[in-house]
């Protein structure tokens, strides 16, 4: 299949939209604490406003994922992402006139926007993939969107290099930066608004709101999704940095021939090596405060720290691209629900990690990461194996199937969930 077909162009445009939005959001995240600290010294904000804001964002993001799937199905992924990007813009513009209550309200709005923009991304991606292109397109999108971290870091480095060293960020610089960030979020909304119709659109009964909502909960308790919960949870705990996404995008079908389970095994090994390097190189109190103590086995070494950081990002890209690929392949008709649950578990465990991080020594962090990485990998191998079994091609709940069965008088009186093997869909996707 040629690289630049319509489906691939749709994914590339989607990647540019996320690059623009998260260039702005990630860049502001680097300076947000300094901006809030400066405002708190002037009496405009509570000293802990930044922590409260982050808590609100994660809480609403986690809860919002339950409602994200029906919202995305009703609005369509395209317009859900437009709305999500506008929520990011509303949050960014608030830093031009910092107000505590506006910060909290816009944080809640941002959490909601994040839930629908990420669910919309997964759904739109799924509707532009076949079984042959899911790995490539997932990696391409991941690499493009996460490269915003690097671009944003370079942008801020240039800005502050020109400005020169100062104890505080001048108000004029803050206003310029957040104006740029707001404009970039609005540009991303425009990019999403110009997205074409996906190549393989899902058919959704948008009038049946009740079943749109309940379908997420029913999918949540299927056998595969319960196993995947541990995979998603691990990515939430280890979530940190980026890289390597484009490598798997360039590999294309080669990574598919290797197999997702083999690639996840590589990602697990890479992360275990990282955790070993962290144990060797960093003092046990380094996660709690500044320290000059010796590392686990050696004196702290900067090159080892940089290598560990690079490998951590490489492994993170492996896990996320393969999860995207698996969800697109396995839940093509319920992509919104599947990606909503992915982000639900990921954000919930990230939030939990924020709570326990300030009180645990580094070694306990590493123990948690090692255990969850091994357990998450085993769960991924399990769901990959049962998915490759033709007798279990789909175990996803489909309220459309139930509705069709009701019309034919075949619905079970006890209300059991209906399942199906959708062979014709597989043939359509693979063709």
Burial of 134 (0-12, 13-18, 19+ CB in 10 A): buried
List alpha helices for 76-208, DSSP H: 77-93, 100-126, 134-163, 171-193
Instruction: Judge whether residue 179 has pLDDT over 80.
Output: yes
3-state DSSP assignment of residue 431: coil
Instruction: Judge whether residue 41 has pLDDT over 80.
Output: no
Q: What is the pLDDT of residues 283-304, one digit of tens each?
A: 877 766 666 666 667 887 888 8
Please report the pLDDT score of residue 399 as a whole number. Answer: 46
Helix, strand, coil shares, percent, the chain, to 5: 75, 0, 25
Give 239 or 139, the one with higher predicted confidence. 139
Q: What is the pLDDT of residues 338-386, one digit of tens each?
A: 888 888 888 788 777 767 766 788 888 889 889 999 999 999 998 888 8
Please report the pLDDT score of residue 165 as a whole number. Answer: 61
d(CA 11, CA 117): 15
Confidence of residue 206 (pLDDT cuts 50, 70, 90): low
Confidence of residue 211 (pLDDT cuts 50, 70, 90): low
Please report the pLDDT score of residue 262 as a whole number. Answer: 87
d(CA 18, CA 124): 13
- Residue range 404-409: mean pLDDT, rounded: 48
Confidence of residue 102 (pLDDT cuts 50, 70, 90): very high
- Residue range 62-66: mean pLDDT, rounded: 85
Could you give all domains of the chain from N- to C-terminal order, each with its CATH number? 6-430 (1.20.1250.20)
pTM for the whole thing? Answer: 0.72
3-state DSSP assignment of residue 92: helix
- Residue range 178-187: mean pLDDT, rounded: 96
Listed residue (250, 211, 186) closest to 337, CA to CA: 211
Give 129 or 165, the one with higher predicted confidence. 129
Can you tell me which residue has the tokens 């999704």?
Answer: 225
Token pair of 368, please?
A: 């948690």
d(CA 266, CA 250): 17
Q: Phi then psi for 200, rounded to 5 degrees?
A: -130, 70
């Amino acid at each position: 299949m040629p690289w630049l077909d319509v489906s691939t162009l749709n994914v590339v445009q989607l990647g540019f939209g996320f690059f623009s939005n998260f260039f702005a959001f990630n860049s502001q995240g680097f300076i947000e604490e300094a901006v809030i600290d400066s405002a708190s010294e002037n009496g405009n904000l509570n000293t802990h406003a930044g922590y409260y804001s982050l808590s609100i964002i994660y809480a609403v993001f986690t809860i919002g994922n339950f409602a994200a799937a029906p919202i995305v199905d009703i609005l369509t992924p395209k317009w859900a992402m437009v709305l999500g990007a506008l929520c990011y813009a509303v949050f960014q513009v608030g830093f031009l006139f910092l107000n505590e209550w506006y910060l909290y309200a816009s944080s809640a709005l941002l959490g909601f926007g994040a839930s629908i923009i990420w669910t919309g991304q997964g759904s739109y991606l799924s509707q532009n993939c076949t079984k042959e292109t899911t790995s490539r397109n997932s990696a391409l999108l991941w690499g493009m969107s996460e490269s915003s971290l690097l671009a944003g870091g370079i942008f801020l480095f240039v800005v502050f290099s020109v400005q020169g060293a100062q104890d505080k960020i001048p108000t004029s610089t803050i206003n310029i930066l957040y104006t740029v960030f707001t404009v970039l979020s609005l540009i991303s909304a425009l990019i999403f608004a110009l997205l074409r119709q996906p190549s393989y659109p899902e058919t959704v009964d948008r009038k049946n709101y009740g079943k749109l909502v309940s379908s997420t909960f029913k999918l949540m308790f299927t056998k595969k999704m319960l196993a995947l919960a541990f995979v998603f949870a691990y990515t939430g705990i280890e979530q940190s940095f980026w890289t390597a996404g484009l490598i798997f995008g360039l590999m294309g079908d080669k990574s598919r021939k290797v197999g997702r389970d083999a690639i996840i095994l590589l990602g697990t090994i890479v992360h275990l090596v990282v955790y070993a390097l962290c144990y060797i190189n960093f003092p046990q109190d380094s996660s709690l405060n500044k320290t000059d103590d010796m590392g686990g086995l050696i004196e702290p070494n900067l090159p080892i720290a940089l290598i560990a950081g690079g490998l951590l990002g490489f492994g993170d890209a492996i896990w996320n691209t393969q999860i995207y690929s698996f969800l697109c392949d396995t839940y093509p008709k319920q992509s919104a629900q599947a990606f909503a649950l992915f982000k639900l578990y990921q954000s919930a465990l990230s939030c939990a990690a924020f709570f326990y991080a300030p009180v645990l020594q580094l070694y306990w962090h590493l123990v948690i990461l090692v255990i969850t990485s091994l357990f998450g990998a085993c769960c991924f191998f399990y769901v990959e194996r049962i998915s490759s079994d033709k007798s279990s091609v789909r175990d996803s709940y489909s309220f459309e199937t139930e509705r069709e069965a009701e019309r034919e008088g075949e619905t079970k009186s006890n209300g059991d969930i209906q399942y199906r093997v959708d062979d014709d869909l597989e043939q359509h996707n693979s063709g």
